[in-house]
Amino acid sequence: MTAVRPDLSHISHWVFDLDNTLYPSNAPVMTQMDRRMTQYVARLLGLGESEARAVQKHYWRTYGTTLNGLMTHHEVDRRDFLDFVHDIDASVIDPDPTLAARIEALPGRRLVYTNGSRGHAENVLGRLGLEHLFNDIFDVEAAGFTPKPHREGFDRFTAHFDLPVSESVFFEDSVRNLKTAHEMGFTTVLVRAREGPRDEESAAPGEHPEHVHYAVDCLSTFLGDVRVKQG
């Protein structure tokens, strides 16, 4: 084997999206949240399920998240929405000791940046066995409820941590979120979807968009291969 190892020896800050990035996309987590969002939209707007679903997806496409669309057009209790949507059965996520060991070996600061809530991130990280490995979690509330892919949310994130983007890498399953990260100067790693139903925003098997430095099928394998800063 003479495969070239990905060179991330310039990286001092490791930034990870949460959902479908730190656990595989075929774990039925997003499907649960997606259903709960539909229920929430239906109840809030007094719609039937299929109409609610159409509104939900329209908001997601137009405003980055369903919540951001609801905030733009309706009165919504943001925390109530997040609590309801994240009230999922997280036991479908398996612990990932290999990923834990590989994240632990990364030199520098490690951060989670999610469009979800901090509570949801803590829940998921706990299930994966990764809860002790990150310096901090930056959630949608910390971003002033401006979600990725909007630049304003990213700017709050980088300002909050005084992040040197040229020395930072962003791991994401969302193609459109990585576009912003790329424009800002992050090194970008796309974690592609596994077999099975996939989100509109995630990449198909084999896909490698132009604004992505690395496109990988397995985060853990990639982190095992990567060349990092020594000492």
E-assigned strands of the chain? 7-8, 13-16, 109-113, 136-138, 168-172, 187-191, 214-216, 227-228
Q: Name which of residues 102 to 121 contact Mg ion (CB under 5 A).
A: none
Question: What's the closest the beta carbon of residue 216 comes to Mg ion, in angstroms?
Answer: 14
The first and second tokens of residue 178, run together, are 């990585």
Angle between helices 78-85 and 118-128 in degrees, nearest 10: 20
Burial of 22 (0-12, 13-18, 19+ CB in 10 A): buried
**Spatial separation of the C-alpha atoms in residues 159 and 215, rounded to whole Å:** 27
Build a one-symbol-per-residue string for 125-164: x at contacts with Mg ion by CB under 5 A, - elsewhere.
Answer: ----------------------------------------
Build a one-symbol-per-residue string for 76-105: x at contacts with Mg ion by CB under 5 A, - elsewhere.
Answer: ------------------------------
Between 11 and 175, CB nearer to Mg ion: 175
Using DSSP's 3-state secondary structure scheme, residue 188 falls into: strand
Stretch that binds Mg ion, among 64-72, 84-92, 167-175, 180-188 (CB under 5 A): 167-175
Question: What's the closest the beta carbon of residue 173 comes to Mg ion, in angstroms?
Answer: 4
Between 11 and 172, CB nearer to Mg ion: 172
- Tell me the β-bridge partners of 174: 202
Report the residue from 11, 42, 173, 212 that binds Mg ion according to the rule CB under 5 A.
173
DSSP state letter for 217 = S
Q: Name which of residues 182 to 221 contact Mg ion (CB under 5 A).
A: none
The first and second tokens of residue 167, run together, are 């020395």
**Spatial separation of the C-alpha atoms in residues 200 and 207, rounded to whole Å:** 13
Question: What's the closest the beta carbon of residue 116 comes to Mg ion, in angstroms?
Answer: 9
Q: Say how many residues touch Mg ion, by CB under 5 A.
A: 4
Stretch that binds Mg ion, among 13-21, 51-59, 161-169, 188-196 (CB under 5 A): 13-21
Build a one-symbol-per-residue string for 16-35: x at contacts with Mg ion by CB under 5 A, - elsewhere.
Answer: -x-xx---------------
Strands 214-216 and 7-8: unpaired
**Spatial separation of the C-alpha atoms in residues 49 and 56, rounded to whole Å:** 10
Q: Which residues bind Mg ion (CB under 5 A)?
A: 17, 19-20, 173
